[in-house]
Amino acid sequence: MVRFVLYTSMAFIAAFAGVSWAMRGFPVNFSGPVSVGPPQPTVTATFGDESAKTCERKMWEAAHTSQSDKNPELDQLRLDTLQAANAYAMSPCDTTMKSNLVGALTAYTRAWQKKLDCSMPMFCNDKKLQEAADTFSTPLDIRVKEALNEAFEQRGIVRTDFPSSVRFHVLQFAGPALWADESPICLPQMRATAGSSRR
C-alpha cells in the first residue's frame, strides 16, 4: 500500500512538472525565464530568382564582415576565400570548386604580399611583418584559415596549381597539407575521365 501511494505521488509530480514545462514553451535552460526576440527576416529564393539570391548573399556578407576590420576590398577577398574553401571541402573533385579556391586564395595571398611589401618575409623588418600579421588576424581571417585547413586536408590541390608568384607565400594560409605533390582522392576520378575522353 505504501508503494502504491509513493508511485502515485511520483506520477502526479511528474505529470504536474511536464504540464508546467509544456505551458512555458519547453525551455531548455531552467536558470531563468524564456525570452523571445523579435522575428528574424527570412529569405525564400525560387529557382532563377537572382534578386533573392543577391539579398541572401548580402545578408551572409553582413553577418561575416562584422568580424572584420571594415576594409571593403579585403573583406571581399576574405569572403570569397571563405566561401570557396567551404565549397571545395564539400566537393574536392569538382574542377570548378578547385578552380574557384585556387583563384580566391591566389588573390588573398597577393593582398597579403601587397600589405607586406617585401619579397621574402625573412628579410622584412619587424614593423612590416607585424602590420601584415595584424591586418590578416581578424576573426574573419581566422575563420578563413580554419576553412582553408579543412579544404586542403582533402588533398585535391597541389603547389603547382598556383602561380609561381604566390606559390611560396600561399603555404602559410593553406597549411601543411599543400606540401604534398599528389592528390590521391581525385586521381581515380581524373583517370576515369581521361580514359573515357580518349574513346
- CA 165, CA 142: separation in Å to the nearest integer? 24
Q: Determine contact, residues 19/26, Cβ cutoff 8 Å.
A: no
Q: What is the pLDDT along the chain (199 residues), one digit of tens a residue?
A: 656 655 666 665 766 566 555 555 555 554 445 444 455 544 444 445 555 555 555 554 555 545 666 788 999 999 999 999 999 999 988 989 999 999 999 999 999 999 888 766 667 778 888 888 888 999 999 999 999 999 988 888 888 899 999 988 898 888 777 765 555 566 656 556 555 555 5
CA dihedral 169, 172, 175, 181 (to 10 degrees): 20
CB-count exposure of residue 113 (10 Å: 0-12, 13-18, 19+) = middle
Taking each helix axis from N to C end, the angle separating 72-90 and 50-65, rounded to the nearest 10 degrees, works out to 110
Per-residue pLDDT at 12:
59
Task: Find all residues with CB under 8 Å of 141, minimum gap 6, and list them.
Answer: 68, 78
Per-residue pLDDT at 30:
47
Q: Determine contact, residues 169/108, Cβ cutoff 8 Å.
A: no
Per-residue pLDDT at 124:
76
Whether this prediction's pTM lies above 0.75 is answered by no
- CA 44, CA 170: separation in Å to the nearest integer? 38
* Domain range summary for the chain, segments of one domain joined by +: 64-179
Cell of 158: 597541389
CB-count exposure of residue 178 (10 Å: 0-12, 13-18, 19+) = buried
Per-residue pLDDT at 47:
46
